[in-house]
Amino acid sequence: MDHFKERSTRDYFQKKLYSLEGLMERENRCIYEEPAFCHAACPLGLDAKKLIAFIEKGSFSEARAMLEHITPFPRILVYGCEAPCKKVCRMNEVGEGIDIPALERAAINHGSPKTGKGMLKFKKKQKAAVFGSDLFSLSLAAELARKSYPVSFYVSQADAVSLIKDCAPFLSEDDLAKEAKKLEAMDIKIIYSARLTKELFESEKKNFDIIAAARSFLSICFPGDLPDSRTLLSPVSQLLSSQNGDPNVLEAIFDARRAGVSADRIAQGLDPGSSRGEEGARESRLYTDMSEAVPSKRIPEPREGYAREAAIEEAARCIQCKCEECIKHCVFLQETGKYPRILTREIYNNVDIIMGDHLMNKTINSCSLCGQCTVTCPNGYDMAEICRDARENMVSTTKMALAYHEFALLDMLFSNDEAFLSKPQSGYEECKYVFFPGCQAGAIAPDAVFKAYSDLAGRLEGGVGLINGCCGAIAKWAGRTAMYEECEELLISELKKLGNPQIIAACPTCKKTLEEMIGAEVKGIWDILNENGLPAGALEYDRPLIMHDSCSARGDRDMQAAIRKLTDSLGCTLKEVPYNGDMTECCGYGGLVSYVNKDLASKMAQSCTKDEDVPYISYCMACRDRFAREGRESMHVLELVYAAPAGNPPDISEKRKNRLNLKRKLLEEVWNEEVIEVSPEYKIVIPEDVAEILDQRMILEEDVYDVIEAYHAGGSAVYDEKSGLLTSSLRKGNVTFWLNFTEDEAGEAGVYTIKGAYSHRMKVRTRYDV
Amino acid sequence: MTDNKVYYSVEAEENLICSKCGIPLEKTEAVFEYLDNSFPVELPACPKCGFVYVPEDLALGKVLSVEKVLEDK
């Protein structure tokens, strides 16, 4: 199977990422959009968190508009509400909860009413009548008027002020007058001083489609006719009325809201119980981390209410409850600016698109798959699973461009081909153990690998074989299942040849991947060193170090503890940081981020090493390398154990050379095999600044040699007479490599000095070539 | 797509010589191809051996940006 065949934008394959249920099940774990506790506790659905935020900004009019939106008589609400929101405020746990009703009053007092008439609304055909006055019927009459029903409101009072006063006796004279004025301005036909009798009701009801009444009217005229608890419709009289005989302010206003919904259903000829959605107070699933909330006391509200400044001060105490546990710790999520639920939906849609731009491809490939979100999220959201599934889906539907992961995949094949080594210990056909150092160890710290193998082979009984290659994690991260399976086949067959020995891994990712592959326990070299003691010559390190746990060790407390035991025996003094152990962050190598999104990978490494200016120690070679690349002093524990400091981080070409040199050294010195190297007859000089460009542009020295070899063998080049530079190119696989160079004759052999290099993936030809 | 359309054109500067054939490059009709899409362009090429020259600023500029767009199509 050709794993490196480019995709075609003309292939239209599609496979659903998840069933709709599977998608919903995942999305529902994210509680970012859950209402704050104060919001959820309000049966009217007032978003108190938002109202408080407005006040904190000094936007009192916006806050007032929120109140006017939820009830026609906001003064009645803010002075009479029993405020369940205040009781559930999380600040009560660390001090005093926010005085939300006092802030609502401040919003009414300091905010300006909305001006303008709003949109032109046409009156509805169905007419409504409301009999009798209590807070419920008053609110419902206004509610129905807002809904554009022509409303007739029969009351016993003689004027608006006494009507409001009877419904809300707790209001001050001033507020009474204001609410009365508001009532008069509403489009309601109020029949004052009406004689509220059953006769009146019977004679008038035929003129109306919707009829409602104060609860006292219902009880007197139709004793025993109780309103339905959900629709508030009384079965005999067909009157809408409040549920309780003596509702409190919030209940009365909430019942008016519910009765308004029933009125709509009746007007539409529907069952009043249908399509009502969620009504009333509810439990919020929101999680709020209170560990950093500063305890504070309520700003006392004077009789005349808060002044603007006092209201702003009280509002500023609000911690604006929200769950951002995953985002707080994850550089990837911070970079996307999205929370997991919305990110999941966008990834799902991205995978679903057949034609057009797949805008989330880079995002899908920028997750390090480290699993930190699963630990930080109160509900265990697993963004890694979703990104990995999306990658596999994209590969299987040929939507994954090779450009994202090709370099890493070729590097994996290099590890398992040219640089691969699988041998039993000299003198053994089958071994009790096999050492599996991992591809990055050989690339970054080859001396430590050489010494580690020599040490294990010398000290362990029963023979220690060696398999130096890639465990397949790279293919897994890239979503390339078929390549992983080929790697699995190779490793299983090599293990079989060695007599299926106990694997000793030196890399947490290899350990995890191989355990899944063979379905048996893989030991870490740290376990062996703890059991058998340190080798002679191990370096003692007396400066304090920060331990960075590998993201592959997340959830593996035994591994984390074994490493600390090992560093203890080395005499290291460890400083533990908060984001460690199961909470650890990825260095940017995981999930192949460093190949796809270099800037993000840099930020990840910086985030891991942000805490203190102390050297970092890790037990994953990729972490060691990435921290050093960001200019941090970092080391792998094996560099200390085997007194084999790896020095400056190698570039991409040195990583390959290190692996080849390690293989040669092992073959020559451990297995006494002769290795023949063929050198070209010419010399290639790569100055340091050009080597840096090669590293940045992911061009290997091997590619440079191949371009020069092709030119040397008679290939074409462009000679620029102005600069004196030659430019030649070579197509290798899916990439065309270009070199700028000079050619000097030094003795018989040519010397090529490389001056620049670049590449592109597009193929180019003249239009006459086929 | 018609054969007459040219998406991008690079002049062949006089100082560019094909080192193999010893003759100056000429502006030539060429094609970029990627993921089953092709774009007619005009690039300096050797009239004899057909070696097409893609300058660095073109490769890392326009070519790279078109590659990225196509990769996510």
A508 and A622 assigned to the same domain = yes
Chain B residues closer than 8 Å to A726 by CB: 19
Lowest mean pLDDT among A117-126, A155-164, A308-317: A117-126
- Residues of chain A found within 8 Å of residue B29, distances taken between Cβ atoms: 766-768
Structure tokens at B42: 């005009």
Cα–Cα distance, A415 to A510 (Å, whole number): 13
Element (H, E) at A154: strand A151-154
Q: Tell me the one-letter amino acid at A385.
A: E
State ipTM: 0.96
Q: Sheet holding A128-131: strands in order across?
A: A188-191, A151-154, A128-131, A210-213
Q: Which domain holds residue B45?
A: 8-71
Q: What is the count of structural domains for chain B?
A: 1
Sheet holding A735-746, edge to edge: A683-685, A749-760, A735-746, A726-732, A718-720, B16-18
Q: Identify from A766, A768, A770 which residue to disrupt to test chain B contact, counting B C-beta atoms within 10 A and taking the largest count.
A: A766
B12 interfaces chain A, CB cutoff of 8 Å = no
Give yes or no: residues A590 and A487 share one domain.
Answer: yes
Position B3 in a domain: no
Using CB atoms, pick whichever of A357, A362, A718 lies closest to residue B73: A357
Could you tell me if A528 and A573 lie in one domain? yes
**Whether residue A711 sits in one domain with residue A598:** no
Q: For the segment A383-408, what is each residue's pLDDT rounded down to a tens digit?
A: 999 999 999 999 999 999 999 999 99
Tell me whether A109 touches chain B (CB under 8 Å): no
- A308 with A183, same domain? no
Q: Are residues A546 and A621 in the same domain?
A: yes
Q: Is residue B2 part of a domain?
A: no
Q: How far is A507 from chain B (nearest CA, A)?
A: 33
How much is the mean pLDDT over chain A? 95
Which among A357, A758, A763 has the least Cβ separation from residue B56?
A758
Which pLDDT belongs to residue B1? 46
Per-residue pLDDT band at A611 (split at 50, 70, 90): confident
Residue A3 lies in a domain: no
Coil, strand or helix at A307: coil
Q: Are strands A763-766 and A749-760 parallel, antiparallel or unpaired?
A: unpaired
Count of beta carbons in the 10 Å neighbourhood of residue A490:
18
Mean pLDDT of A728-737: 97
Name the residue with tokens 């009459």.
A141
Whether residue A512 sits in one domain with residue A377: no
pLDDT at A543: 83
CA atoms within 13 A on the CB side of B11: 3
User: What number is the average pLDDT over the span A551-569?
Assistant: 96
A259 plus A291 within the same structural domain: no
Cβ under 8 Å to B: A residues 691-730: 714-722, 726-727, 729
The total number of structural domains that make up chain A:
5
Shortest distance between the Cα of A656 and any Cα of chain B, in A, equals: 25
- Are B20 and A715 within 8 A, CB to CB? yes
Q: pLDDT tier at A768 (50, 70, 90 boundaries)?
A: confident
A393: left (phi over 0), alpha (psi -120 to 50) or beta: alpha
Q: Is residue A10 part of a domain?
A: no
Residue A193 lies in a domain: yes
Task: Tell me the nearest-neighbour CA distance from A720 into chain B, angstroms.
Answer: 5
Question: Does A5 reside within a domain?
Answer: no
Q: Residues near A536 by Cβ (< 8 Å), separated by ≥ 6?
A: none
Same domain, A391 and A435: no
Q: Are residues A204 and A140 part of one domain?
A: yes
Could you tell me if A24 and A47 lie in one domain? no
Q: List CB contacts (< 8 A) between B21 and chain A.
A: 716
* Residue A122 near chain B (CB below 8 Å): no
- Find the helix packing angle between A60-70 and A100-110, rounded to 10°: 110
Q: Examine residue A7 and state whether it is found in any structural domain, yes or no.
A: no
Q: Does A651 touch chain B (CB under 8 A)?
A: no
Say which amino acid occupies A389.
D
Query: For residue A1, is it within any domain?
Result: no
Q: What is the mean pLDDT of residues A615-644?
A: 96
- In the sheet that B26-34 helps form, which strands lie side by side, from edge to edge? A763-766, B26-34, B37-45, B8-9
Least confidently predicted of A222-226, A387-391, A441-445: A222-226
> Cα A319 to the chain's mean position, in Å?
22
Question: Which positions in chain B touch A405 (Cβ < 8 Å)?
Answer: none
Provide the domain limits for residue A706.
Answer: 683-760
pLDDT in tens, B19-55: 999 999 999 999 999 999 999 999 999 999 999 999 9
- What pLDDT is stored for residue A493 in this prediction? 98
* CA nearest to A743 within chain B: B19
Enumerate long-range contacts of A345-351, CB under 8 Å, 24 or more apart: A345/A23, A345/A27, A347/A17, A347/A386, A347/A387, A347/A390, A348/A17, A348/A18, A348/A23, A350/A390, A351/A15, A351/A16, A351/A17, A351/A390, A351/A393, A351/A394, A351/A397, A351/A399
Whether B1 is in a domain gets the answer: no
Same domain, A454 and A565: yes
Predicted confidence (pLDDT) at residue A546 exceeds the cutoff of 60: yes
Interface check A226 vs B, CB under 8 A: no
